[in-house]
Amino acid sequence: MKIRISLGMCLLLWVIPAMAQQPKPNITAEGGGPDDRASARILYWNSAKHGGAGEFAIDYGRPVWKSVYEDPAKFDAMTKGKVWRFGSNFWTTLDTCLPLKISGEAVPVGYYYLGLRRSDDGAMWSLAFIDPAKVRAAHIDAFNIDKAPISFEVPLSDAKATSKTEKLTIDLTYPKDNIHKATLNIAWGTLALTAPIEIMDVE
């Protein structure tokens, strides 16, 4: 009798974890392999201290531009009055240990998810900053960026693309004679956006 009870308990203990590992209905998984991501970073270096003086970086996935985006009516339908996914796969992120001003708007030290917002009339673009903690709490993927609460936005300017950029490209440039001023450049297909950055408190 004791042997039967022991065997029964062992079977139960084996079945319960196995049942717990079964995925819920309608839940699937994807990904797991490496994807095409890039990073744009500006690092400040203190040569006297032989150490870092601060940095900020944007990490992002690189979606390929599609010819369908070149149809003005379709592009407007996808973007006008909406927060648009900025990149591919995992969120596009900004990580800064320096306070910044982007287009004159303060961006405090921190870690942010980023999106692009286009105005209702299509005339203006802005960079949308999203609190990662709120996204994590709600399990929001970047595909559903429209469900993510926006913390604040900074305006972007149309840079008038002169050529087509096949994959999303974000870079940060700065003049050698004034390293406290930088420029954010966004290029994707026929879309080109830019914003000035002022870097504060570099020591």
98 inside domain: yes
How is 30-97 classified by DSSP, letter by letter?
---S---EEEEEEEEEETTTTEEEEEEEEEEE-PBP-GGGGSHHHHHHHHBTSEEP-SSSSPEEEEES
pLDDT at 26: 83
Confidence of residue 117 (pLDDT cuts 50, 70, 90): very high
Give the mean model confidence (pLDDT) for residues 14-25: 59
Mean of pLDDT over the chain: 89
Give the mean model confidence (pLDDT) for residues 41-67: 93
Confidence of residue 32 (pLDDT cuts 50, 70, 90): confident
End-to-end CA distance of the chain: 76
Interacting residues of 14 by C-beta distance below 8 A, sequence separation 6+: none
23 inside domain: no
169 inside domain: yes
99 inside domain: yes
Range of the domain at 90: 34-199
Domain count, the chain: 1
19 inside domain: no
